[in-house]
Amino acid sequence: MSRPTTVADIREAFLGFFEAKEHLRLPSDSLVPSNDPTLLFTGAGMNQFKEEFLGRGRDWNRVTTSQKCLRVPDLENVGLTPRHHTFFEMLGNFSFGDYFKAETIPWEWHFFTEILGWDADRFVVTVFTDDDEAFQIWREKIGLPEERIYRFGEKENFWPSSAPSKGPNGPCGPCSEIYYDMEPGKPLPANEGLEDLPGRFLEVGNFVFTQYERHDGGVLEALPQRNIDVGLGLERVAAVAQGARNNFETDLFAPLLSTISDLAGKPYLGAKASNEEEEKIDIRMRRIADHARAVFFCIADGAMPGREGRGYVVRKILRRAVRDGLDLGIQKPFLASLLPSLRETMSAAYPELTQQGSTIEALSNAEEERFRDVYHRGITRLEEEMHTLKASGARTLPGDTAFELHDTYGFPLDTAEVILEEHGFAVDHDGFDAAMEAQKSRARAGSELSGDVFAQSLGSLLREQGLEETSFLGAEQDHSTSKVLAILDPAQSGSDALLQEGHAGQELLIVLDQTPFYAEGGGQVGDVGQLLHDGQVVATVLDTQKEEDYHLHRVRLEGPLKTGQTLQAQIDVAKRRATEAHHSATHLLHAAMKHVVGEHVNQAGSKVSSEGLRFDYTHPEGLSQETLAQLEDLVLNHALLAEDVAASLSSLDEARASGVTALFGEKYGDVVRVVRMGEFSAELCGGCHVRNTGQIGPFRILSDRALAAGVRRIEAVAGHAAAAHARADQELLQTAGQELKCPPQQVPDRVLALKGQIKKLKDAQKQMAKSGGGASLSDLLSKLTQSGQLQWSAPQGQSTDILRGMSDEMKQLRQKDGAAVPPAVLLCGGTGEPGTELPFLFQCDPKAGWKAGDLARAFGKLLGGGGGGRPDFAQGKASMPQDGLQGLEKAIESFVSELASPA
């Protein structure tokens, strides 16, 4: 049989080899650790087996995996060195209290020398200072010469490194590492020398003998069982197997580097790079290849670029890749276009790269576009800084400012430096390094096993007290008779938090043996309600949260309460029913999204309460009104079909095989609960639901908006909340109708009509301004034609509304300063065309004896119309004389001459 050399073949050979040794082959855990809130990312194969190492996990003895890992403390080295990665795979075999050193060392040896066929004479190994047992196995069983077995202390040969003195707490043990000599034939170094030759000796495997649990103060307690945790870096093993100079020059990276080089229009030279410039280009390409892998796998596992925690790390990695792309002269967003090249080598082993393909593409595109903006702003910021430097006469950019540019704006130091130099400035490198170091140790704290892995949580405190997990009855019943198992004061920690009793007014956490109260999880809010004793309320439950499998009822005590007491637990039924309707509606909406929008849509989060539901999903663009209506109808149809809702338990594999929707990036145990609604929806869920979809009642989508790049949120309501929203909308319409003086149905027409009028007015105003004709009152007044005591104007094309406005102003002016306005004014509107309507108005000073109403009546009559009104203001409509303005002038002259004097 030919030797495995490709990454896929080596992975398979390893897993197959250990399967044949009765190991259970398990899938890689997610990069977002499934059961360990102390870790930001999965960084080693053993992460998912901590409980098994401590002897309290699942019933497994031997397991083998290839684990997706992400490590970021060495981010800055990626691409520069041949071996550093952010994302990598670790081949692992694990023994939980089963075999130990004497078995695993020969097995790994067999794998390297027989299966991979590597030269037995090129290996050197290390063992922990006093680990004579491991030494003997290498020496006797394997037959390695003594000079090839090195001994080191806890920094090199303990895992986690330096765990006894520095931590973290948790499972740990001495280890033995195996190295392959890349320059065989040279003399072997002395013990201390090995470390100084990292280029020569390549670490290809680490065998950890996990036999201790570390506690505070470096106390190592022997575990009840001895374990094995072996990890082989797949990329390194492949590099050796393929005779590659570095990990990036293996089959794994070839398609990625080739696409990157096409995009950049420059070759990846590898060994042919002959100067610093060419080497720099290669480094950037390697970095892009590494970072693209990390970003795609993170997004596929639900860690999306964001501002904090995991999201921040993903964003940072992505930005570094894009920045390299910019430096390589790639003008347009490109990262997402690398996905097919990664799939070529990885999607057979990791189908999530295909399943989540459109999400990965959408999110990385959106994030890249956003960063390109940020980058351009970074340049602006740098220019501002230089301006400030110049003004203050300083010549050096402070290190923390340079670091801020690098870290926040993603603006690379070397680029900043080139620009600064051009302007005669330097950078404070020491300050930059110090800021970088501080940042790195923060990253380390967040992403490596440096936290206290087993810091006492409330859950472990309760476990230590021997408390049984809470049994949850709330899927079937709303009340229960329950015993108080523990009373906790959330303000205290450790055993101080445990109280024997509580008193009225205190806010405490209560653990019951069984409860109908749902604890917040899976997007569903925790229940509220009451705890009663003899029909009296002793505690109001304000919220319910979960710690491991204990339900913590957050209560305000209304009376005294003791541990051991028996109570009636009663949830707020109305709120819960409404929450259930929203939860079930969320499942129907999710199924409807897959039907209407596409299978690629993933739920990215949800929140259901009695008030409504929020459904976050990944999709690059907004949904049209039609699509939203289709979704609403589809959900409503399934509610009206009144289908049964049933929950059942099954194995995760069975559920997946039958096509049940599992949530994006969500973790599940081996036994899962499947909630089905007719044939339409089947989803993994531990929450509370209606018994029949008919109980969802009406359903309305209220909004759909962008939440972040590529992530959107729908807000919707069901049941009473939907009815209440409909009612509120109707009331709104009614109020609008009242204001507009029309029935609600006519509101849109009325609004349209008003808009039309406003437009006409505006047009008329514009027209007036253009014609220069009487745009203002003073203009109009100066243009009035004197005819006896009556003055008049007939500005053509003016709307009557405008004339009326003028007349109002005139009235005000008259009251303020009578002299400026003639005692009687006639204004004529209309288009001025012969025979068309001639609206007119009179504006008079009653004190001067004129009566506008009489004038309007007479003038209207004269020109074939009518009019009337008050003494100070009157209006009417007549008809424009056939000879137009001239005729009008004549008519007004004769009208005036007939008015001998004020009536």
Write out the residues near ligand ALA by the rule CB under 6 A: 44, 46, 159, 206, 208, 229, 231
**Nearer to ligand ALA (CB atom), residue 52 or residue 229:** 229
Nearest distance, CB of residue 49 and ligand ALA, angstroms = 10
- DSSP helix, strand, coil percent of the chain (3-state; round to 5): 45, 25, 30
Beta-bridge partners for 212: 172, 222
Burial class (CB in 10 A: 0-12, 13-18, 19+), 195: middle
Q: Please, which residues have CB within 8 angstroms of residue 710's CB and are 6 or more apart in sequence?
A: 304, 359, 362, 363, 365, 366, 367, 618, 619, 620
Name the minimum Å distance from CB 46 to ligand ALA.
Answer: 5
How far is the C-alpha of 780 from the C-alpha of 790, rounded, in Å?
A: 14
**Residue 886: enclosing H or E segment and its boundaries?**
helix 884-898
User: Which burial class, exposed, middle or buried, applies to 9 when counting CB atoms under 10 A from its CB (0-12, 13-18, 19+)?
Assistant: middle
> Which is closer to ligand ALA, CB of 71 or CB of 814?
71
**Burial bucket for residue 350 (CB in 10 Å: 0-12, 13-18, 19+):** buried
318 within 8 A of 368, measured Cβ to Cβ? yes
Q: Which is closer to ligand ALA, CB of 231 or CB of 516?
A: 231
Beta-carbon contacts of 584 under 8 Å, excluding residues fewer than 6 positions away, are: 645, 677, 689, 690, 693, 695, 696, 718
Contact 214, 164 (CB under 8 A): yes
Smallest distance, ligand ALA to C-beta of residue 298, A? 19
Contacts of 752 (CB under 8 A, 6+ apart): none
The token duo for 903 is 């009536």
Closest CA to 720 of 702, 690, 695: 695
Closer Cβ to ligand ALA, 105 or 628, answer by number: 105
Crossing angle between the packed helical segments 254-264 and 276-300, to the nearest 10 degrees: 120
Q: Which is nearer to ligand ALA, 159 or 664 (CB)?
A: 159
What whole-number distance in Å separates Cα of residue 302 and Cα of residue 294?
Answer: 12
The size of the chain, in residues, is 903
Cα dihedral 133, 135, 141, 143, rounded to 10, equals -170
Contact 31, 43 (CB under 8 A): no
Residue 229 Cβ, how far from ligand ALA at the closest point, in Å? 5
Between CA 142 and CA 150 the distance in angstroms is: 15
By the 8 A CB rule, do 349 and 291 touch? Answer: no
Between strands 561-562 and 123-128, the pairing is unpaired
Q: Which is nearer to ligand ALA, 138 or 792 (CB)?
A: 138
Instruction: Name the residue nearer to ligand ALA (CB basis): 203 or 513.
Output: 203
3-state secondary structure of 575: helix
Q: How far is the CB of 490 from ligand ALA (least distance, A)?
A: 36
Least distance to ligand ALA, CB of residue 124, Å: 17
Helix (H, G, I), strand (E, B) or coil at 447: helix
Residues 70, 317: Cα–Cα separation, whole Å:
11
Residue closer to ligand ALA by CB (options 160, 325) is: 160
Rounded least distance, CB 227 to ligand ALA, Å: 11
Tell me how far apart the alpha carbons of residues 690 and 647 are, in angstroms, rounded to a whole number.
11
Min separation Cβ 129 and ligand ALA, Å: 18
Query: Of 33 and 526, which CB lies nearer to ligand ALA in the complex structure?
Result: 33
Listing DSSP states for 304-341 in one string gives: ---SSHHHHHHHHHHHHHHHHHHHTT--S--GGGGHHH
d(CA 590, CA 584): 10
48 vs 681 by CB, closer to ligand ALA: 48
CB of 458 to ligand ALA, least distance (A): 29
Least separation, in Å, of the C-beta of 249 and ligand ALA? 23
Q: Which amino acid is at 650?
A: S
User: Cβ of residue 22: shortest distance to ligand ALA, in angstroms?
Assistant: 20
Instruction: Output the CA torsion sign for 782, 784, 785, 787.
Output: negative
Of 88 and 123, the one with the shorter C-beta distance to ligand ALA is 88
Q: Which residue is nearest to ligand ALA (CB)?
A: 231
Do the beta carbons of residue 531 and residue 562 sit within 8 Å? no
| CA neighbor of 135 nearest in space, from 163, 165, 101, 104 | 101
Nearer Cβ to ligand ALA, position 231 or 378? 231
CB nearer to ligand ALA: give 227 or 356.
227
How far apart are the C-alpha atoms of 284 and 297, rounded to whole Å? 20
**Which pair of tokens denotes residue 176?**
């033995």
Side chain identity at residue 876, one-letter code: G
Q: Decide if 97 contacts 226 (C-beta within 8 A).
A: yes
Contact of 7 with 239, CB cutoff 8 Å: no
